[in-house]
Amino acid sequence: NKVVHRDDVEAGAPDPRWAGELAKLKGLLDGQKAAV
């Protein structure tokens, strides 16, 4: 069950904390693309 839950977190990020982290990472990636 834990493995399935981990996959769910990576795929859908239902946890607000995960959503925030993913948003930060996406922002950093977008910033790098803009810089390049």
Q: Which tens digit of pLDDT belongs to each residue from 1-36?
A: 555 555 555 555 567 777 788 889 999 988 888 777
- Domain boundary assignment for the chain: 2-35
Q: Measuring CA to CA, which residue among 24, 19, 28 is closest to residue 9?
A: 19
**What pLDDT score does 14 carry?**
61
**What pLDDT score does 6 carry?**
54
Please give the single-letter amino acid code of residue 5. Answer: H
Is 0.85 topped by the overall pTM?
no
**What pLDDT score does 20 carry?**
85
**What pLDDT score does 35 carry?**
75
**What pLDDT score does 3 carry?**
56
